Amino acid sequence: MAAAIRRGSGQGAEVFDALGDPTRRHLVEALASRDGASATSLAADLPISRQAVAKHLSALASAGLVRSHRSGRETLYELQPAPLADAADWIAEVGAEWDDRLARLQRLLKK
């Protein structure tokens, strides 16, 4: 996944695209604190319709951030944390590379 993020393609890019929307970030946070939730229960916390929440959940599912399963008449959504961990790993790698570059620049400037 980190390689896909580095190339800016594949699921890695979809994760960042999905997380670029504040409503989707709210849904990720809400799902992180629950074992599963329906679009209806998630919509109760937001000023948007259940249908709008369902569309946001679909985008999160396309990015691999949530998965759904049927439970009776309801569709429940669960957070899939692996893509978030991959994105965090990539961010940490980039941060470490910049720390190294800045340290080399600082050493060069001290000479």
- How confident is the model over 24-50, as pLDDT tens digits? 999 999 999 998 999 999 999 899 999
Topology of domain 2-110, CATH: Arc Repressor Mutant, subunit A (1.10.10)
Which positions ≥6 away from 60 have C-beta within 8 Å? Answer: 18, 24, 27, 28, 66, 77
User: Which pLDDT score is estimated for 49?
Assistant: 96
| pLDDT above 70 for 90 | yes
Q: What is the mean pLDDT of residues 89-107?
A: 88
- Tell me the pLDDT tens digit for each residue of 43-84: 998 999 999 999 999 999 999 999 999 999 999 999 999 999
Whole-angstrom distance, CA of residue 18 vs CA of residue 50: 18
Query: What is the distance between the terminal CA atoms of the chain, rounded to a whole angstrom?
Result: 40
| CA 11, 12, 17, 19 torsion-angle sign | positive
The pTM (predicted TM-score) of the whole model is 0.77
Which positions ≥6 away from 75 have C-beta within 8 Å? Answer: 38, 39, 68, 69
